[in-house]
Amino acid sequence: MIKINENYLKLQDSYLFSTIAKKVADFQAKNPDKKIIKLGIGDVTLPIAPKIIEAIHKATDEMAKKETFKGYGPEQGYDFLREKIVEWDYKKRGISIEKEEIFISDGAKCDTGNIQELFSTDNIIAITDPVYPVYLDSNVMAGRTGSFDKNTGKFEKVVYMPATAENNFEPELPKEKVDMLYLCFPNNPTGTVLNKEQLTKWVKYAKENGSIIFFDSAYEAYISEENVPHSIYEIEGAKEVAIEFRSFSKTAGFTGVRCAYAVVPKELKVGEVSLNALWNRRQCTKFNGVPYITQKAAEAVYTEEGQKQIKENIAYYMENARIIREGLEKSGYTVYGGKNAPYIWLKVPEGMTSWEFFDKLLEEKNIVGTPGSGFGPSGEGYFRLTAFGSRENTIEAMNRIKQ
């Protein structure tokens, strides 16, 4: 008799955003006349930039002709795209990465979810709290977390590193030895960042403890301030201890186009074993590469025109972020983030839980956000709004809150 992977049964509830979607659908069904403004899920709303659209049409026409048709591509991605990434995302910042260290994928969600497969289920993982749920859930499924404790809201074997207003959203280094560290900066959900000095401590910790950092920099394009690293490889020695994840989703509005990449440096080894080789093997066995058309779309991001167009979109979202930040402050809220990230993290009013605030905001103001507690126990008492709405909706939302 077949047995299931019992670890799946330890997963808590359904995935955060599905729960929200259901609540919103129920509310809308009961209140068909209400105009709901959605600032919950981190999904972009501006269309794909013209330069990228042009590239998609061109690649599509190549697929229509025998002479230029492309079948299976390399599982690691086409060199034309890997080379552009090396040049534009790394070399321009003074970082030396080889194209063989870049693995094109269909999403940072997939990559950050799959990366744990390369490692023993005995390893101890550490996550910041609050956290993007995928890091935790993929480890629950793999059996690395132990059971969920309802009293603490935590999994027994996981090291939680709180990031709250109390420590200015700079999580403390673990006191114990941990093996696998998940960091996301600019941070989802708090919208906060680490500066170079702060990030350097994590690289040092990883070196001293033989740990590996999974560095999710999906939001690096939103950084506006100086001294905030766009890549962990800006920190000396990071190539020996860190895998970096990047995505076109928020950089170029690719949430529905699906393209991302992971950087697995050749220097990164566990004993004699090259993690670049292991990840390569994983991808070759369980992945068939990203569509040619999609990779051509991503390539167009790395042109002067493409850059100009995506930066206009990012500026649009960051103006929304400013409107939300300042709007909330004027309405008496304490807010964080929104300067180097498209997320605004606010303190919910005293005496309310995050979900209570979610319900109140939905019912009274018809605004959807994301309850902080959905991201972990230290997210309780906070709430996330995103800057990805339209300008009109963003302004309208702030007007509703002001009233």
Region 291-320 residues binding a second copy, contact defined as CB under 8 A: 291-294
Six-digit token string for 127: 């996550």
Note whether 351 binds a second copy by CB under 8 A. no
Give the DSSP per-residue string, 280-333.
HHHHHHH-----HHHHHHHHHHTSHHHHHHHHHHHHHHHHHHHHHHHHHHHTT-
Least distance from C-beta 308 to a second copy, angstroms?
17
Provide, rounded to whole angstroms, the least separation between the CB of residue 346 and a second copy: 23
Distance CA 325, CA 97 (A): 36
Helix (H) or strand (E) holding 59: helix 50-63
Is the Cβ–Cβ distance between 89 and 99 less than 8 Å? no
Site for a second copy in 107-136 (CB under 8 A): 107, 109-110, 113-114, 117-123, 133-134
Report the relative pairing of strands 343-347 and 335-337 from DSSP bridges: antiparallel
Which of 20, 40, 102, 106 touches a second copy (CB under 8 A)? 106
Rank residues 28 and 195 by Cβ distance to a second copy and give the closer one.
Answer: 28
The verdict on whether omega for the bond into residue 50 sits within 30 degrees of 0, i.e. cis, is no
Of residues 7-66, those binding a second copy (CB under 8 A): 8-9, 11, 14-15, 18, 41, 43-48, 50, 53, 56-57, 60-61, 63-66
Is 352 a binding residue for a second copy by CB under 8 A? The answer is no
Given the complex with a second copy, which of 45 and 224 has the nearer CB atom?
Answer: 45
Q: Decide if 253 contacts 313 (C-beta within 8 A).
A: yes
3 state DSSP class of 344:
strand
What values do phi and psi take at 32, rounded to 5?
Answer: -65, -20
Minimum distance, C-beta of residue 294 to a second copy, in the bound complex (Å): 6
User: Cβ 285 to a second copy, closest distance in Å?
Assistant: 5
373 counts as binding a second copy under rule CB under 8 A: no
Nearer to a second copy, 153 or 291 (CB): 291
Q: What sign has the CA pseudo-torsion 122, 376, 105, 268?
A: negative
Contacts with a second copy by CB under 8 A: the residue count is 81
Taking the complex as a whole, how short is the minimal distance between the CB of residue 178 and a second copy, in angstroms?
9
What is the 8-class DSSP label of residue 364? I
- Sites for a second copy among residues 198-257 (CB under 8 A): 209-212, 253, 255-257
Cβ at position 103, least distance to a second copy in Å? 15
For residue 287, the minimal CB distance to a second copy (Å) is 6
Interface with a second copy in residues 76-95 (CB under 8 A): none
Are 279 and 263 in contact, with CB atoms under 8 Å apart? no
